[in-house]
Structure 1
Amino acid sequence: MVFGKMASGVLNQHVTESLNDSNFCDDISTEEKEPPLQSYLILTMFTCFCPAYPVNIVALVYSVMSRNSYYNGDYDGSRRLGKNALYVAIASIFIGLLVIAIICIVHFTTINHMV
């Protein structure tokens, strides 16, 4: 019984010393928090279904590059590439909708001469 009390007392002493250590508290407060990942991967994967293939592939590449930069610790580069992925994805959606609209207009306004 004496050994159990002595071991827990020594353990508690080491724990309280490490918690009271000023370097320990400084390390936590000076560490930089990681910003949230904004690579827009889901949006760029969705744009791959739009008929603007060169543009949406570029958006997907920017998104993947943004994720790689984030996991390598380059948060500013990740944020920049994520914004580029967002802008190119939005452009891809607009181009895709424009292509779909043009195809529908041409299809439904042409006169069928086979009558």
Structure 2
Amino acid sequence: MALDVLNSQVKNSLSGSAFLDRRSIEEQGPPPPIRSYLCLTIFTCFCPAYPVNIVALIFSIMSRKSYEQGDYDGSRRLGRNALYVAVASIIIGLLIITITCIVHFTAMDF
């Protein structure tokens, strides 16, 4: 009798049903929407701050991969990092364009 109970507990633990409550997974509902800012990071690739643009694009892609794997908190964190790096890339790109224009138009020809 005790052996049968022990065998059923071992079978349940090996199948994962003892540790995984299937009803709680079904009741959770749909996952939260993704915010990876992929379009913004692709747009920043046209700014002249190339190493920073690539980092923003990588963060955005990593955010999507984390979302596909079910890591929603990691996806949100990486998406936020992608946004910050993309905004920094846009600001750096605008500064580079502004400085280049100022130097070009204020240079004196001798």
TM-score normalised by structure 1 residue count: 0.72
Q: CA RMSD in A?
A: 1.6
Distance verdict in 2 for CA 1:96–1:64, change over 3 Å: same
Mapped pair 1:47 → 2:44: yes
The residue that corresponds to 1:95 in the other structure is 92
Unaligned runs of 5+ in 2: 1-22
From 47, 70, 83, the equivalent of 1:73 is 70
Deviations 1:85-114 (A, max 9, x none): 00000000000000000000000000111x
Structure showing greater radius of gyration is 1
TM-score normalised by structure 2 residue count: 0.76
Aligned counterparts of 1:56 and 1:31: Cα–Cα separation in 2: 36
Percent identity for Structure 1 against Structure 2: 67
Aligned counterparts of 2:88 and 2:59: Cα–Cα separation in 1: 13
Unaligned runs of 5+ in 1: 1-24
The residue that corresponds to 1:10 in the other structure is none
Distance verdict in 2 for CA 1:112–1:76, change over 3 Å: same
Task: Provide runs of 4+ in structure 1 moved above 3 Å.
Answer: 25-28
**CA deviation after TM superposition for structure 1 residue 26, in Å:** 7.6
